[in-house]
Structure 1
Amino acid sequence: MPTSTAPGLSRLPHWLQWCVLAAAGGVAGYLLHYLKVPAGLFLGPMMVAVAMGIAGSSIRVPRLAFRSGQGVVMLMVAKSVTLGVLLALSRDWHLMLVVTALTLILSAAVGLGMVRFGGIPATTAAWGTAPGAASAMIAMAEESGADYRAVACMQYIRVVCVVMAGAWISHLIVAPEAMHEISADSDNGFSLVNLALTLAVAFVGALSANFLPAGALLTPIIIGSALNLLGWLDITLTSSILALAYGAIGSYIGLRFDRETVLQVVRLIPTIITANLFLILLCAALAWPLSWLFAKDFLSVFLATSPGGLDAMAIIAVETGSDASFVVALQTLRLIGVVLTGKLCAHGLILLSRRLRT
């Protein structure tokens, strides 16, 4: 329990902090959802959690709840995966590899610019600008002796910037009346058995994250898509469960902005935000020609190329009626690329920044 000398919200008992988060986050989420803001049920709790974290809140969303929420979101996408979708994606695999490489190069270039002009240490920028797999990059940064708190702040600021920009651009492109409801219940009627099996797959995905990088994202969509295609599982998710999943993800991310971390990197925050917005603009510029190349709408390609936040981009894609399968496929490919090449890219950026200084 927090001591009486602790600052801000940490003076309050944990149960009261949870009540504030649940009530304020729920109201904010449903208000944004009512106003037809894309991913409003995700954005509302995240913004409330960010404010609470900076105000000194001492509660944290359990990692298992966060990962289970990610699994639920991935199963929502898996429900829309068909054989035709898989065949269409398989034809563009070589283009997806090229796009993944381009996104990694753009991220590295922005990281180099932060070192050169923003005064951010190369070790911090190298891990902090990796476009995805935030938790893995933070862990790798800590292992390599980098300032993992600054890396965490950079990673989660990027997620917030990407989510806000994605929601804003989606709002500009998609008319409010065209927004999709979040319900994903079975078309053949509600089944308690199917709901239980669906949640079991999400929970298995959450547990797999203990030994698989990004397992909470990849395992549910692989297993869920396979079972769905084979006709062995009718993926069933209620609106309430989806809202809870969105809230768990948003609150987990928001509460990572604790006061100590933010105060430690406060002078770097303008540079970090500017660099992330610049990276998002670069990805948006890349999406214009790619939308023609892939024969997809701009919003789907923009969400697919946005630097990180696979779960958040999947939520926005589903609610705006974008090609969620394409978004998840490209985001997943980059996620795998970041995990596999993270150390190599980080060390390369550090060496390159040192050469530029000499």
Structure 2
Amino acid sequence: MLHSPRRVRWLVLIILSLVTVSLLELIHLPAALLLGPMFVAILFAVAKQMVSLNPTLFRTAQAVVGAMIARAMPIEVFKEMQHTWPIFILTVFSVIAVSTLLGAVLAKFKILPGTTALWGSSPGGATAMTLMAGNFGADVRLVAFMQYLRVLLVTLLATVVSHTLAPESSATSAITQLEQPIAWGAFAITSVIILTALLLSNVIKLPAAPLLLSMIISNLAMNVGGLQIELPLPLLATAYAMIGWSIGSRFTKDILRYAFHALPAILFSVILLMAICCLFAWMLVEFAGIDPLSAYLATSPGGADSVAIIASSVSVNQPFVMSMQTGRFIAVLCLGPALSRLVARWLH
């Protein structure tokens, strides 16, 4: 394909991405829509066959993901935060403190450069953390490698735990969502929100501005204005593909060698974080009376989007689970930049 026309390379990229997503969906991997295109894009980049992505389309994809995150934050989630605020604060900030410490140690021992280790260890939404990391001097490729490696491991363990504690439930494949009807009126409103976020992002300078502004506006529209956020699966799949291609296209043979060289230490930090989160879950069961599956999903460091998919298919306290995941995500978004600067000063 070295001398193939640009359109031919795009066609091959899209077809291979669809095939990879389908294969990942067969094992019910929640992050399949993003990981599939990212894996294919890495192969293209390493083979020096990558096609260029339109910056406007990439920003639009960020805004779509922002609306998707907001949709997982209904008013019941915030009411649950208020109802269980002592447990909420203790659990959320304990996980953030542990992940920050692990990231700082990886950076201190020069296993990963600078603040890359911190953003890679952050237990927020993997996509949002990867998008924001580039605005604070981190290597987006290594952050993506860490985040999505953790997504894979946490999702696998969460799926096993869910089937063990709730064997009658089954995970929902994204492909089955194609059968759901589209509310065209709500979709039109959602499209206007996404467009508004894109226009405002040109004026309001924030890290990952399209994502954050879309998330804020969509959440206000849903919880204050009573509007429905409608995101058809084809739109979400396209947005995830754009982000996956953008991340994957930045990989090179050198960065892959570096990542695999650091893999043992990264794996150790991920497994240690998962183990500590399991300990927090046990404490919720023993001292707060939370059922084991809800406690595990609430403290799982895999990201709110992946946990939301698993939680929707099993019998758990969904408001409690999503309040913990959403609260931690918001806290990481707010504290991430400050923690990044703090770790940078500590390293110097």
Smaller-chain TM-score range? 0.7 to 0.9
Please say if 1:55 is aligned against 2:53.
no
Q: Please give the alpha-carbon distance, in whole angstroms, between the structure 2 residues aligned to 1:153 and 1:308.
A: 18
Question: Once the two structures are superposed, what CA deviation does each residue of 1:182-207 show, in whole Å capped at 9, x if it has no partner?
Answer: 4779x9x7442321111222343455
Cα distance in 2, alignment partners of residues 157 and 347 from structure 1: 24
**Structure 1 contact 194–234 (Cα < 8 Å) conserved:** yes
Alignment partners' CA distance in 2, 1:325 and 1:245: 23
The TM-score normalised by the length of structure 2 is 0.75
CA-CA distance at 1:273 after TM superposition: 3.8
Report the AA paired with residue 325 of structure 1.
M
2:59 to 64, 69, 72: 64
* Structure 1 residue aligned with 2:156: 168
- Answer whether contact 2:41 2:248 (CA < 8 A) is retained: yes
Deviations 1:146-188 (A, max 9, x none): xx4xx33331111111220232123213449522354779x9x
Please name the residue that 1:6 is paired with: none
Mapping of residues 1-358 of structure 1, within 5 Å: 12-61=4-53, 62=55, 63-78=58-73, 81-82=74-75, 84-115=76-107, 119-120=111-112, 125=117, 129-132=121-124, 133-141=129-137, 148=138, 151-175=139-163, 178-180=170-172, 182=174, 190-206=182-198, 208=200, 211-230=205-224, 232-263=226-257, 267-290=261-284, 302=296, 305-307=299-301, 309=303, 311-314=305-308, 317=311, 323=318, 325-326=322-323, 327-348=325-346, 350=347
What is the rounded CA distance, in whole Å, between the counterparts of 2:84 and 2:192 in structure 1? 32
Query: For the structure 1 residues 112 and 23, does the alpha-carbon distance in structure 2 shift closer, same or farther, using more than 3 Å as the test?
Result: same
Aligned amino acid, residue 15 of structure 1: R
Q: CA deviation at 1:347?
A: 1.9
- Change in Cα spacing, 1:229 to 1:217, as seen in structure 2 (3 Å) is same
Q: CA deviation at 1:24?
A: 1.4
Taking structure 1 as reference, are residues 209 and 109 closer, same or farther at Cα in structure 2, changes over 3 Å only?
same
Matching residue of 1:3: none
RMSD value, Cα:
3.8
In the superposition, the TM-score normalised over structure 1's length comes to: 0.73
> For residue 143 of structure 2, what is the amino acid of its counterpart?
Q
Aligned residues: 330
**Alpha-carbon distance in structure 1 between the residues aligned to 2:154 and 2:200:** 29
Q: CA deviation at 1:120?
A: 4.6
Is the partner of 2:148 in helix, strand or coil?
Answer: helix
User: Aligned with 1:178: secondary structure?
Assistant: coil
Q: CA deviation at 1:223?
A: 2.8
Q: Deviations over 1:250-274 (max 9, x none)?
A: 3333333333533465533443344
8 Å Cα contact 1:70-1:311 kept in structure 2: no
List runs of 5+ in structure 1 lacking aligned partners.
1-8, 142-147, 352-358
Tell me if structure 2 keeps the 8 A contact 1:71–1:217.
Answer: yes
Higher mean alpha-carbon deviation, 309-318 vs 96-105, is at: 309-318
